[in-house]
């Protein structure tokens, strides 16, 4: 690994790191040498992801936690410091969706999507800030979406949460630049994961319709996110902050 991408000795928290895009990113960070803390609600998925990452020769542990709980961020930060003594990298990746037209979305459902995708990222970022400040450096990577840019008939709450991720990224990047904490967002395109397999069952023709708009001619994979995660988590990106990088095979630039 070229030294500017080396993450030996760094500690990374990946929310939703037990599957999909989060695990793809965690694998990238582990290959670059980082110790990993995974967060997810499902203990079986957590255990499977931990043993997969351990095979890469790094220290890993998981925290079984629902990120919609108000104290989740603080608990995750203190468990990480207790075990590894520092926090260098946070990937706010956990996310979910409820696909309904705006007139059918219950207020509770709207709030739940925002709490899962946006408030949890805010609280986790706030919780790791003191540890990053103490280290004198930090990298926060927030996962947005094409719905950070576009709207959708059945994605009102999701789009609000993912647009919020981009603005939160810019605001925290501005606020925490003096502490040498870089905050950036990644905007995945159409990626084959559990989340989109459910979407494909709920929305007729989704796979083919989106495929037709992707210049690279294929849906993305979790592994497609390993490189951007390493880049944004490493000193290679030290002068890059507040950006939102699409990982979408050209979806967002095709007419
Ligand atoms: P998956 O459903 O495969 O993974 C979601 C992850 O988040 C799982 O690890 C899940 O673990 C965790 N998670 C969800 N809710 C919670 C919660 N309340 N508390 C703790 N963990 C939670 O989805 P993807 O990998 O596709 O999505 C990852 C991120 O990427 C999301 O933010 C999503 O919005 C975003 N994204 C995905 C795209 C795609 O095409 N797939 C496109 C654009 C953005 P567990 O179930 O164990 O809690």
Beta bridge partners of 13: 37, 90
Q: Which of 166, 140, 114, 167 is nearest to 232 (CA)?
A: 140
Give 157 Cα–ligand 1 centroid separation in angstroms. 15
Ligand 1 pocket, 16 CB below 6 A?
Answer: yes
Give 40 Cα–ligand 1 centroid separation in angstroms. 9
For ligand 1, atom 3, name the residue with the nearest CA: 20
Give domain status of residue 25, yes or no.
yes
Ligand 1 pocket, 44 CB below 6 A?
Answer: no
Give domain status of residue 202, yes or no.
yes
Ligand 1 pocket, 18 CB below 6 A?
Answer: yes
Please identify, by atom number, the ligand 1 atom nearest to the C-alpha of residue 38. Answer: 9
Q: Is the dihedral of CA 148, 151, 152, 153 positive or negative?
A: positive
Give domain status of residue 78, yes or no.
yes
pLDDT tops 70 at residue 6: yes
Percent of the chain at pLDDT > 70 equals 100
Q: What is the mean pLDDT of residues 119-142?
A: 98
Q: How confident is the model at residue 86, as a pLDDT?
A: 98
CA distances to 22, 118, 219 from 215, rounded to whole Å, are: 24, 29, 10
Please identify, by atom number, the ligand 1 atom nearest to the C-alpha of residue 191. Answer: 40
The count of structural domains within the chain is: 1
Q: What is the mean pLDDT of residues 59-73?
A: 98
Give domain status of residue 252, yes or no.
no
Q: Ligand 1 pocket test: which of 13, 16, 162, 244 has the largest number of ligand atoms within 8 Å of its C-beta?
A: 16
Q: Which of 63, 74, 57, 81 is nearest to 17 (CA)?
A: 63
Angle, alpha carbons 233-23-1 (nearest 5°)? 45
Q: How confident is the model at residue 1, as a pLDDT?
A: 59
Give domain status of residue 69, yes or no.
yes
**Mean pLDDT of all residues in the chain?**
97
Give domain status of residue 177, yes or no.
yes
For ligand 1, atom 9, name the residue with the nearest CA: 16
Give the torsion through C-alpha atoms of 73, 28, 249, 156, to 10 deg.
Answer: -10
- pTM for the full predicted model: 0.98
Give domain status of residue 48, yes or no.
yes
Ligand 1 pocket, 190 CB below 6 A?
Answer: yes
Ligand 1 pocket, 206 CB below 6 A?
Answer: no
Instruction: Provide the residue range defining the domain that includes 200.
Output: 2-247
Residues of 68-83 as b/e, b for ≥16 C-beta within 10 angstroms?
Answer: beeebbeebbebbbee
Ligand 1 pocket, 38 CB below 6 A?
Answer: no
Q: What is the mean pLDDT of residues 44-54?
A: 98
pLDDT, tens only, 144-177: 999 999 999 999 999 999 999 999 999 999 999 9
pLDDT band for position 255 (50/70/90)? confident
Q: Which of 164, 158, 139 is nearest to 239 (CA)?
A: 139
Give domain status of residue 194, yes or no.
yes
> CA-CA distance, 138 to 150, in Å (whole number)?
30
Ligand 1 pocket, 145 CB below 6 A?
Answer: yes
pLDDT, tens only, 183-234: 999 999 999 999 999 999 999 999 999 999 999 999 999 999 999 999 999 9
Domain of 87, CATH number, reads: 3.40.50.720
Give the torsion through C-alpha atoms of 9, 144, 226, 91, to 10 deg.
Answer: 20
Q: Which of 100, 90, 155 is nearest to 127 (CA)?
A: 90
Q: Please give the positions annotated as active site.
A: 158
pLDDT tops 80 at residue 2: no
For ligand 1, atom 33, name the residue with the nearest CA: 95
């Amino acid at each position: 690994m070229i030294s500017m991408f080396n993450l030996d000795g760094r500690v990374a928290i990946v929310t939703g790191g037990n599957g999909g895009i989060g695990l793809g990113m965690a694998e990238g960070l582990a290959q670059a040498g980082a110790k990993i803390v995974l967060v997810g609600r499902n203990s079986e998925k957590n255990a499977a992801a931990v043993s997969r990452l351990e095979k890469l020769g790094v220290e890993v542990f998981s925290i079984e936690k629902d990120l919609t709980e108000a104290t989740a961020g603080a608990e995750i930060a203190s468990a990480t410091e207790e075990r590894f003594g520092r926090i260098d990298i946070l990937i706010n990746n956990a996310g979910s969706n409820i696909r309904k037209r705006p007139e059918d979305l219950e207020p509770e459902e709207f709030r739940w999507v925002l709490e899962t995708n946006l408030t949890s990222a805010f609280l986790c970022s706030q919780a790791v800030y003191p540890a990053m400040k103490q280290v004198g450096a930090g990298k926060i990577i927030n996962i947005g979406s094409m719905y950070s840019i576009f709207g959708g008939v059945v994605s009102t709450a999701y789009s609000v949460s993912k647009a919020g991720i981009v603005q939160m990224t810019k605001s925290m990047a501005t606020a925490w630049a003096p502490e040498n904490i870089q905050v950036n967002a990644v905007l995945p395109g159409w990626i084959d994961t559990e989340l989109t397999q459910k979407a494909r069952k709920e929305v007729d023709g989704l796979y083919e319709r989106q495929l037709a708009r992707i210049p690279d001619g294929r849906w993305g994979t979790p592994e497609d996110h390993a490189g951007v995660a390493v880049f944004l988590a490493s000193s290679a990106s030290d002068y890059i902050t507040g950006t939102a990088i699409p990982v979408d095979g050209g979806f967002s630039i095709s007419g």
